[in-house]
Amino acid sequence: MTSATPNIRLYVEHDLGTDREFLIDGNQGHYLINVMRMKEGEVVALFNGRDGEWMARLEKVGKGKALVRVLGHLEDQAEEPDLWYLFAPVKKARLDYMVEKATELGVSLIRPVMTRRTIVDRVKEERLRANAIEAAEQCGRLTVPEIEEPVKLDKLLAGWPDDRLIMFCDEAGGEGAQDIKPVGEAVAQAGQSSGLTKWAILIGPEGGFSPEERQMIRSHPQTVAVTLGPRILRADTAAVAAISLWQSFAGDWQ
Amino acid sequence: MTSATPNIRLYVEHDLGTDREFLIDGNQGHYLINVMRMKEGEVVALFNGRDGEWMARLEKVGKGKALVRVLGHLEDQAEEPDLWYLFAPVKKARLDYMVEKATELGVSLIRPVMTRRTIVDRVKEERLRANAIEAAEQCGRLTVPEIEEPVKLDKLLAGWPDDRLIMFCDEAGGEGAQDIKPVGEAVAQAGQSSGLTKWAILIGPEGGFSPEERQMIRSHPQTVAVTLGPRILRADTAAVAAISLWQSFAGDWQ
- If pLDDT is split at 50, 70 and 90, which confidence band does B179 have? confident
End-of-domain residue from the set A54, A75, A96: A75
Regarding whether B182 and B121 lie in a shared domain, the answer is yes
What pLDDT digit, counting tens, does each position of B130-159 carry?
Answer: 999 999 999 999 999 999 999 999 999 999
pLDDT above 70: residue B4: no
pLDDT above 50: residue B1: no
Regarding whether A167 and A51 lie in a shared domain, the answer is no
The C-alpha atoms of residue A181 and residue A187 are separated, in whole angstroms, by 9
Count: domains in chain A: 2
Regarding whether A174 and A100 lie in a shared domain, the answer is yes
* A177 inside domain: yes
What is residue A44's predicted lDDT score, i.e. its pLDDT? 97
pLDDT above 60: residue A3: no
Regarding whether B102 and B56 lie in a shared domain, the answer is no
Question: Could you tell me which chain B residue has the CA closest to the CA of A254?
Answer: B182
Q: In Å, what is the CA distance from B40 to each residue of A91, B18, B33, B65?
A: 34, 18, 10, 11
Regarding whether B53 and B123 lie in a shared domain, the answer is no
What pLDDT digit, counting tens, does each position of A118-143 carry?
Answer: 766 677 889 999 999 999 999 999 99
* B4 inside domain: no
Chain B residues 11-40 with CB within 8 Å of chain A: none
- If pLDDT is split at 50, 70 and 90, which confidence band does B173 have? low
Between residues A248 and A93, which one has the greater pLDDT?
A: A248
What is residue A110's predicted lDDT score, i.e. its pLDDT? 97
Between helix B183-194 and helix B235-250 the angle, nearest 10°, is 50
What is residue B53's predicted lDDT score, i.e. its pLDDT? 97
The nearest CA of chain B is from the CA of A41 a distance in Å of: 26
For A38-42, B95-99, B220-224, B226-230, which range has the lowest pLDDT when averaged over its residues? B95-99
The C-alpha atoms of residue B239 and residue B101 are separated, in whole angstroms, by 8
Is residue A182 within 8 angstroms of chain B, CB to CB? yes
- If pLDDT is split at 50, 70 and 90, which confidence band does A205 have? confident
Which residue in A175, A245, A251 is closest to B248 by CB distance?
Answer: A245
- If pLDDT is split at 50, 70 and 90, which confidence band does B237 have? very high
* B1 inside domain: no
What is residue B104's predicted lDDT score, i.e. its pLDDT? 97
Regarding whether B114 and B68 lie in a shared domain, the answer is no
Which residue in B182, B184, B232 is closest to A139 by CB distance?
Answer: B232
Cβ contact A244–B244 (<8 Å): yes
| pLDDT, mean of residues A221-249 | 95
pLDDT above 90: residue A218: yes
What is residue A1's predicted lDDT score, i.e. its pLDDT? 38
The contacts of residue B109 (CB under 8 Å, 6+ apart) are B83, B84, B85, B145, B146, B147, B148
The nearest CA of chain B is from the CA of A29 a distance in Å of: 24
What pLDDT digit, counting tens, does each position of A89-106 carry?
Answer: 877 667 888 999 999 999
Neighbours of A179 (CB within 10 A): 9
* A1 inside domain: no
- If pLDDT is split at 50, 70 and 90, which confidence band does B3 have? very low
| pLDDT, mean of residues A149-166 | 96
The C-alpha atoms of residue A144 and residue A130 are separated, in whole angstroms, by 10
Cβ contact B229–A1 (<8 Å): no
CATH number of the domain at A47, please.
2.40.240.20
Tell me the DSSP string of B62-76. Answer: ETTEEEEEEEEEEE-
* B245 inside domain: yes
End-of-domain residue from the set B51, B75, B99: B75
What is residue B187's predicted lDDT score, i.e. its pLDDT? 95
Between residues A159 and A94, which one has the greater pLDDT?
A: A159
Regarding whether A229 and A210 lie in a shared domain, the answer is yes
The C-alpha atoms of residue A243 and residue A225 are separated, in whole angstroms, by 14
What is residue B168's predicted lDDT score, i.e. its pLDDT? 95
The C-alpha atoms of residue B183 and residue A79 are separated, in whole angstroms, by 22
With H, G, I as helix, E, B as strand and everything else as coil, classify residue A223. Answer: strand
Regarding whether A96 and A68 lie in a shared domain, the answer is no
What pLDDT digit, counting tens, does each position of B190-207 carry?
Answer: 999 999 999 999 998 877
What pLDDT digit, counting tens, does each position of B109-122 carry?
Answer: 999 999 887 766 67
Regarding whether A129 and A226 lie in a shared domain, the answer is yes
What is the helix (H) or strand (E) element at residue A156, kind and residue range? helix A153-158
End-of-domain residue from the set A29, A55, A75: A75
What is residue A251's predicted lDDT score, i.e. its pLDDT? 94
Contact A169, A180 (CB under 8 A): no
- If pLDDT is split at 50, 70 and 90, which confidence band does A6 have? confident
Residue A60 CA, chain-centre distance (Å), reads 34
> How much of chain B, in percent, has pLDDT values that exceed 70?
93
* A98 inside domain: yes
B75 CB-side CA count, 13 A: 21
Give the best residue of B80, B206, B248, B249 to mutate against chain A (max A CB count within 10 A): B248
Is residue B5 within 8 angstroms of chain A, CB to CB? no
CATH number of the domain at A175, please.
3.40.1280.10
Sign of CA dihedral A233, A234, A238, A240: negative
Which residue in A139, A237, A245 is closest to B245 by CB distance?
Answer: A245
Give the best residue of A98, A100, A104 to mutate against chain B (max B CB count within 10 A): A104
What is the helix (H) or strand (E) element at residue A198, kind and residue range? strand A198-203
Q: In Å, what is the CA distance from B88 to each residue of A186, B61, B209?
A: 34, 43, 9
Which residue in A104, A231, A254 is closest to B231 by CB distance?
Answer: A104
Regarding whether B170 and B57 lie in a shared domain, the answer is no
Predicted ipTM?
0.92
Name the average pLDDT for chain A. 91
Name the average pLDDT for chain B. 91
* A48 inside domain: yes
Give the best residue of B104, B141, B232 to mutate against chain A (max A CB count within 10 A): B104
What is residue A123's predicted lDDT score, i.e. its pLDDT? 76
Q: Beta strands A164-169 and A181-182: pairing type?
A: unpaired
| Cβ burial, residue B198 (10 Å; 0-12/13-18/19+) | middle
E strand residue ranges, chain B: 9-11, 21-24, 43-47, 53-62, 65-75, 83-87, 109-114, 146-147, 151-152, 164-169, 181-182, 198-203, 223-227
Could you say which DSSP state residue A150 is in?
A: P
Domain hosting residue B147, numbered range: 83-250
Neighbours of A39 (CB within 10 A): 10
Regarding whether B140 and B206 lie in a shared domain, the answer is yes
* A138 inside domain: yes
| pLDDT, mean of residues B33-52 | 97
Chain B residues 191-210 with CB within 8 Å of chain A: none
Phi and psi dihedrals of A114, rounded to 5?
Answer: -90, 125
> How much of chain A, in percent, has pLDDT values that exceed 70?
93
Regarding whether B161 and B91 lie in a shared domain, the answer is yes
